[in-house]
Structure 1
Amino acid sequence: MTGHSFLQHIVSTPPLGGRISVSRLDGTESLGLPELYERARRLARRLRARGIGPGDRIGILAANSLEWVLLDLAALLLKAETAGLEPGKFAPSAELMARYGITLLFTDQPTDAPGAVPIGEVRALAEDPEGPEEDTALPAVHWAPRDVTTIKFTSGSTGTPKGLGATVGSIDSSLAAVQEIFEHKPGDDLFVFLPLSLLQQRYWVYSALVHGHDVTISTYEAAFAALRRVKPTVVMGVPAFYETAKRQVEARLRRSGGTATVQEAARHLFGDRIRYLWTGSAPADAAMLRFFHDAGLPIYEGYGLNETCIVTKNHPGAHRAGSVGKVLRGKEVLVDADGTIRVRSDHPVNYRYAYAEPGASERMFAPDGTVRTGDLGHLDEDGFLFIRGRADDVIVLDNGKKIVVRPIEEHMRTSPAIAECVLFCPAQTDLVAVVSPAAVPADPDAIAAQLALTNAARTADERISRVVIADAPFSIDNGLLTSQYKPKRKQILATYHDAVHDSKEGIHAA
């Protein structure tokens, strides 16, 4: 597909093979991609009869489902935009629809907002062949590189989500670069469980429609139950998911009393067809990556932002431990003198936000579309990118010493007792850690042992003086993790403000 548009191929060429499956806790439903395409065309005709056409915007505020995929594909066939709205971050309302220019809002949540449609109605619209719309051909559409297909929203940790229009060229460029290094093909089954409101998760549906491989859609809650049934070849996950998987594999090894190997325990969880595991969106712990490589499940870390799409990726042909991979075709990484990373793209996602507070676009995007990432890192002599942390997560002590917190937090997370660690410096004199326990009840002795190991490896200014153990693990539900399972620093500080500012040294519960 190099030199051609994936999305234009999708709207003009029905797929010849492949399947899509939707896996829930109660089972898995499968459908051939040619039938999916026909249902999407039928849905598109029904939406067109309701007045949806080029430039109109469809909002989707619902959990992952077949209906989600059908709506997204129908929008592409109509040259309409989608707005992927993450449950928990948005609530269905007339105000929401007005704010984002949404003509129809499909949701699985109760609402009486005019123009809101229960997403459960989508299946009937897509499956029922009766109706005058069946005799109406869909007009041909053409997606140009600068056309926007969807408004995607930041999953970041602070403030109102920023909305960004994703261009066809940026999607095509990313899909082409990934296909070049991983060669997904018939026989592959890509397992997706993060919210489809995150555009990158929809990439793998687009890839299936073009390359004829299978794709399975699930949810985080159903993911582990589904893996053994589905037996995918590729799993798309964030580091927190693999940390949980690692603990499950280790627990199975303990229960086996030494009769099972780590390879057997890992295959019991993931199935016996894994070709590789994909991770990104947050820093991955080196011990976790080694664990899965040693278990015979190669796992490849990458790097990218909403504003850049995929920038770098480790892969079978180029992999370096500790890095987030080599720069992909169509991207250029620039490192400023202070270590801050900028990204230039042949096909930028966009040149500004569609929805953001004043000044946000100018802070993020240079006039030529180059993105100021705010991340710190360096490129080695072979072109592998290493990330040190966020520029705004550098703590400056009262003595002028600058502390990059990410390496310290990562060292703390090497303990099986610690799921997350976030550092603060309330008085600019010493570091305080808020720790999310890996299990309830927490294990203070194991946390104390890890604190001693971490402090022994640091300079005096980098040592942690106090640890606050969160009363419950950070989660999406309690608002302390993003949808990609990254800690929300400001919310964590607000939740544990008094404990962080307490002068009591040592380790104590919040």
Structure 2
Amino acid sequence: MTGSIVNHIVTTPPTRGRLTVMRLDGTETVELPDLYERAGRLAAHLREQGIGPGDRIGILAANSLEWVLLDLAALRLKAVTAGLEPGKFDADGELLARYDLKVLFTDQPAEHPGVRPIGEARRAAERPAASGALPPVAYAPGEVTTLKFTSGSTGQPKGLAATVGSIDSSMRAVQEMFAHGPGDELFVFLPLSLLQQRYWVYSALRHGHDITISTYEAAFWALPQVRPTVVMGVPAFFETAKKHIEARTGEGGVAHAARRMFGDRIRYLWTGSAPASAPMLRFFNEAGLPIYEGYGLNETCIVSKNHPGASREGSVGQVLPGKQVILDEAGVISVRCDHPVNRRYEYAAPGDSERMFGPDGVVRTGDLGYVDEDGFLFIRGRADDVIVLDNGKKIIVRPIEELMRESPAIEECVLFCPTQTSLVAVVSPAAEPADEAAIHEHLALANATLGRDEQISGIVIAESRFSIDNNLLTSQFKPQRRRIFDLYRSRILESHRGVHARSH
């Protein structure tokens, strides 16, 4: 496959660059040529144990050097990695059987014979294998390297087998926009179980830049030490960073406080995976840290991206080469890819694949949006989050939720309309205990700017902040609407009834 980045990194040893792993339990650095050699030795050991093309290697662990080595070793064997997000799965025999895993590496305690401590991968990578050189491998565009899982709100996560063509096309487009290379250091902290986070390891091997992998818990501690040039993060991370910077702003001003947090080498900040608020984006741009929002799904990979020389406020960037955005009469977005991630799910309920993937491979995103005359894509919200009131008025909830999140006292806001007559907000406070007075004050200010039908009539303040641990946020920090409604159903209905009683 001409120009394949995946084929390059499995056949060509890198000559420069380094990988650093920074966790709260320690820091270690590996030069990329050494990383390549270690991954090869690990691949040879796995091959001796009977793992070969098409076999699935499960990885259920926090970000670590071992995670990276296993992923790269699998690529060298044409095996398939199954990245399993910690907290969502248990390391047991049932997991191996469910996803047809040949072996599962984990940092959790486990007794099943097919489950191995992830530390075994490091030890194998440090000693020569008896079998010697690995056979050469080459990938075709339609071949699969990894099984990734959606962060659905109900039931078992759906599997999606990602093709080499989709990985290559996305990485080529990113490189054309941002030109990563020697002198860059990319900072990554989201779980490596999310395939896109591994793209930056592949980018380092291909383009010779440095990369630091951390964890979410260690990110703010690690950032000023690393002094990266690029930080990859979801909007929730940058919202938290914004609040920390505002709290630490002194005589040097916001720009100085931002540089103290992120270091003095930032070239740009990357965000996506969830809607980013306009005030947050504006804050970092004005602080001298350019931030670029993009848009994509597990099922499409990256679709559009703002970047230097082509950025428009309020948009998620221009649609990338190889992607086509199709809008129906209601403004619902579908995406056609020259190199689809796949055309169906694995391990999904009946009908799930047909609802998402059209017969021609087009992905039905469920998002509402439009494309302007210059090819910039704008997202208005989710089609299934449009509330239709009993008077026929359609309310798009995203702009109202973003308005509520502008309060320093509110971390997240999710709107519901249980009887199609008035809106009720469930808010996740920015601190515990919640600053209820500030939340109600901001609600009054927000309602003063909203139309009659858009006003929030009732509010429920969550007892504890939404998080991944309590299953109210996805791994990419998006609210789990259905679970939030189920958890606060009685209070939502009570708030709604109270409003209705007062109005009569």
TM-score by length of 1: 0.96
Taking the aligned partners of 1:141 and 1:481, their CA distance within structure 2 comes to 39
Secondary structure of 1:215's partner? strand
Distance 2:396 2:66 in 1: 44
Please report how far the alpha carbon of residue 159 of structure 1 lies from its aligned counterpart in structure 2 after TM superposition: 2.8
Q: Secondary structure at the match of 1:132?
A: coil
> In the alignment, residue 91 of structure 2 is paired with which amino acid?
P
State the Cα deviation string for residues 403-430 of structure 1 (Å, max 9, x = none).
1111110111111111000001112211
CA offsets 1:6-37 (integer angstroms, 9 cap, x no match): 00001110111100000112442111000000
Instruction: State the SS of the aligned residue for 2:172.
Output: helix
2:146 match: secondary structure:
strand
Q: Cα distance, 1:504 vs. partner? A: 2.8
Partner of 1:303: 295
The correspondence for 2:458, drawn from 420, 444, 466, is 466
For the residues of structure 2 that align with 1:32 and 1:390, how far apart are their CA atoms? Answer: 43
Contact 1:418–1:435 (CA under 8 A) maintained in structure 2:
yes
1:234-268 deviation line (CA, Å, top 9, x unaligned): 00000000010001101101xx3xx1211110010
In structure 1, distance between residues paired with 2:110 and 2:286 = 49
Q: Does 2:83 match 1:84? A: yes
1: CA distance between counterparts of 2:24 and 2:47? 34
The secondary structure found in structure 1 opposite 2:218 is helix
1:418 aligned to 407, 410, 413, which one? 410
What amino acid sits opposite 2:261 in the alignment?
L
What is aligned with 1:143?
139
C-alpha displacement of 1:110: 1.1
Match of 2:229 in 1: 233
Q: Indicate the residue corresponding to 1:223 in structure 2.
A: 219
- Partner SS for 1:220: coil
C-alpha distance in structure 1 between counterparts of 2:434 and 2:136, whole Å: 59
Partner of 1:380: 372
Distance 2:154 2:405 in 1: 23
Q: Mean alpha-carbon deviation: is it higher for 226-235 or for 89-98?
A: 89-98
SS in 2 for 1:41: helix
2:484 aligned partner, one-letter code: I
How far does residue 325 in structure 1 lie from its aligned partner after superposition? 0.4
Q: 119-128 vs 194-203, which deviates more?
A: 119-128
1:194 aligned to 2:182?
A: no
Q: What is the CA-CA distance between 1:132 and the residue it aligns to?
A: 2.1
Q: How does 1:343-382 map to 2 (within 5 A)?
A: 343-382=335-374
Equivalent residue, structure 2, for 1:94: 93
1:288 to 280, 283, 300: 280
Contact 1:163/1:354 (8 A) holds in 2: yes
The residue that corresponds to 1:128 in the other structure is: 127
Find the aligned partners of 1:313 and 1:398 in 2 and give their Cα distance.
38
Q: 1:113 corresponds to which residue?
A: 112
2:491 is matched with which residue: 489, 499, 508?
Answer: 499
* Shift in Å, 1:3: 4.8
Answering whether residue 63 of structure 2 is matched by residue 67 of structure 1, we say no
Aligned to 2:433: 441
Aligned residue in 2 for 1:427:
419
Shift of 1:156: 3.0
Q: Identity percentage over the alignment?
A: 71
Residue equivalent to 1:156: 152
The one-character-per-residue Cα deviations of 1:57-79 (angstroms, maximum 9, x if unpaired) are 10000000000000000000000
Residue identity matched to 2:344: R
* Structure 1 contact 157–481 (Cα < 8 Å) conserved: no
- Residue 358 of structure 1 aligns to a residue in which SS? coil
Give a deviation string over 1:216-250, Cα, whole Å, max 9, x none. 10000000000011111000000000010001101
Deviation at 1:323, TM superposition (A): 0.4
Q: Deviations over 1:192-227 (max 9, x none)?
A: 000000000000000000000011100000000000
How much does 1:501 deviate? Answer: 0.7
1:328 and 1:224 map into 2 onto residues whose CA distance is 32
Aligned partners of 1:404, 1:159: CA distance in 2, in Å?
Answer: 27
CA distance in 1, matches of 2:315, 2:154: 27
The residue matched to 2:477 in structure 1 has which SS?
A: coil
AA matched with 1:235: V
TM superposition shift of 1:453? 2.1
SS of residue paired to 1:496: helix
Q: Which runs of 5+ in 1 are unaligned?
A: none
**C-alpha separation in 2, matches of 1:207 and 1:442:** 42
Residue 165 of structure 2 is matched in structure 1 by 169
**What is the CA–CA distance in structure 2 between the aligned matches of 1:456 and 1:400, rounded to whole Å?**
22
Q: TM-score, normalised by structure 2?
A: 0.97
- How far did 1:444 drift? 1.6
Distance 2:92 2:126 in 1: 28
Q: Report how far residue 96 of structure 1 moved.
A: 1.0
Q: CA RMSD in A?
A: 1.2
Tell me, yes or no, if structure 1 residue 262 matches structure 2 residue 254. Answer: yes
CA deviations 1:355-374 (Å, max 9, x no partner) are: 21111111111122110000
2:36 counterpart letter in structure 1: Y
Matching residue within 364, 368, 393 for 2:385: 393
2:313 matched to 1:321?
yes
8 Å CA contact retained: 1:190, 1:235: yes
1:108 Cα deviation after fit: 0.6
Give the Cα–Cα distance (whole angstroms) in 2 for the partners of residues 27 and 289 of structure 1: 32
Contact persistence 1:158–1:488 (CA under 8 A): no
Question: Hey, what's the Cα distance between the residues in 2 that align with 1:462 and 1:159?
Answer: 32
In 1, the alpha carbon distance for the partners of 2:191 and 2:69 equals: 15
- Matched residues in 1 for 2:140 and 2:253: separation? 52
Is 1:490 equivalent to 2:482 in the alignment? yes
Mapped partners of 1:383, 1:430: distance in 2 = 36
Q: CA deviation at 1:446?
A: 1.5
Residue 494 of structure 1 and its aligned partner are, at CA, apart by 1.3
Which letter does structure 2 place at the counterpart of 1:62?
Answer: A
Deviations 1:137-195 (A, max 9, x none): 10111111000100000023333211000000000000000000000001101100000
